[in-house]
Amino acid sequence: MRYGYKASAEQFGPSQLLEYSRLAAELGLQTVAISDHFQPWRHHGGHTPAVLPWLGAAGATIPDALLGTSVLTPTMRYHPSIVAQNFATLGCLFPGRIFLGVGTGEALNETPATAAEWPGAKQRRMMLREAITLIRQLWTDERVTFEGEYYRTDRATIYDKPQQPIPIYIAASGPLAAKLAGRAGDGFIATSGKAPELYEELLAKLAEGAQAAGRDADAIDKFIEIKVSYDPDLEYARNACAFWAPLALTPDEKSGIDDPIEMEQAADKILDRAPSRFICSDDPDEVVAKIAPYVELGFGHLVFHAPGDDQERFLRRFCADVLPRLRERFDGSPP
């Protein structure tokens, strides 16, 4: 089992986020995974620090922690070759401590930055698959001339490559993306708070994709962001979720929204739903009990996303009250 901290770039500026991430590592969380947003979920009070320089600063100031993206989209705002170069450099600077988490993206981040038309789901998956192929080729080969459907390179070389391979984690919220993760990912990223049947389907498709590619599904790191608002004051824990009300919007309610102002307006209409995507509790044993089904499904890399403005308050209480109980139950560690 591995436990980590979700560094929410949509909610905090770069320096504050770095301090929270450093504290998380000091308190025993072994992974720091940062979201990569060009625009936040909310216009007022939102942030979007650039992930690539932030990871360099994090690697230099947070010893030992595994660092990576959850997730970056290497298909529109970034050309895959630029992603390959940046992560190769990070891998050289911090050997064995970097992972690249990728996904098909969201219109909110990609279309405002590029003014490009937002592709359909199938095309986004095809773009992601091709991008991963190109990134890996650039990490292993010299003078790469790549002629894909979406990307091309001409005698491209990355001159500084890490000796230790950088794992690529693929995020999936649907069966076809999960199958791609099984075929091409070193890790699989999911998010909590959805129907249990969905996770069963995603993991089955992950295994199916791995089998088709002649890979061992058990060797794929199963990573899940668990949304949890724990505090001894239950009302505080519930109110802390307000910033993240956009996560409680249905697909129809947020369809076509690529503007933080519009997203904020839509979310403010359903603030009462905000806690529904989080484990909200004042009881550490209840939190562990609600996390347990994810572990029982096979997730062994748990990264905790807390919604409140006071992340230090959450981290200190969660790591004092909940983390030891998780380790006792799932690792056999003494309390």
Counting Cα atoms < 13 Å in the Cβ hemisphere of 327 gives 16
For 100-140, the pLDDT digits (tens) are: 999 999 999 999 999 999 999 999 999 999 999 999 999 99
Give which of 9, 17, 70, 18 is closest to 40, Cα–Cα. Answer: 9
Question: pLDDT at residue 254 above 90?
Answer: no
pLDDT attached to residue 252: 85
Pairwise CA distance, residues 184 & 169, whole Å: 9
The dihedrals phi and psi of 296, each to the nearest 5 degrees, come to -65, -30
**Ranges of each domain in the chain:** 2-228+282-330
Least confident of 74-83, 109-118, 320-329: 109-118
The active-site residue out of 47, 79, 106, 142 is 106
Question: pLDDT at residue 334 above 80?
Answer: no
Evaluate whether 303 touches 33 at the Cβ level (below 8 Å).
yes
pLDDT attached to residue 335: 59
Pairwise CA distance, residues 283 & 189, whole Å: 27
Q: Which residues of 223-241 are buried (b: 16+ CB within 10 A; e: fewer)?
A: bbbbbbbbbeeeeebbbbb
| Mean pLDDT score, 154-175 | 97
Distances (CA, A) of 331 to 3, 163, 171: 11, 31, 25
Evaluate whether 50 touches 82 at the Cβ level (below 8 Å).
no
- Which CATH topology does 2-228+282-330 take? TIM Barrel (3.20.20)
Active site residue 79: no
For 8-58, the pLDDT digits (tens) are: 999 999 999 999 999 999 999 999 999 999 999 999 999 999 999 999 999
The active-site residue out of 37, 110, 225, 301 is 37
| Mean pLDDT score, 260-285 | 95
Question: pLDDT at residue 159 above 70?
Answer: yes
pLDDT attached to residue 256: 75
Active site residue 106: yes
pLDDT attached to residue 251: 80
| Mean pLDDT score, 306-321 | 98
Number of residues that this document lists for the chain: 335
For 172-221, the pLDDT digits (tens) are: 999 999 999 999 999 999 999 999 999 999 999 999 999 999 999 999 99
Pairwise CA distance, residues 220 & 92, whole Å: 23
Tokens of 68: 């990576």
Pairwise CA distance, residues 136 & 143, whole Å: 13
Pairwise CA distance, residues 178 & 208, whole Å: 9
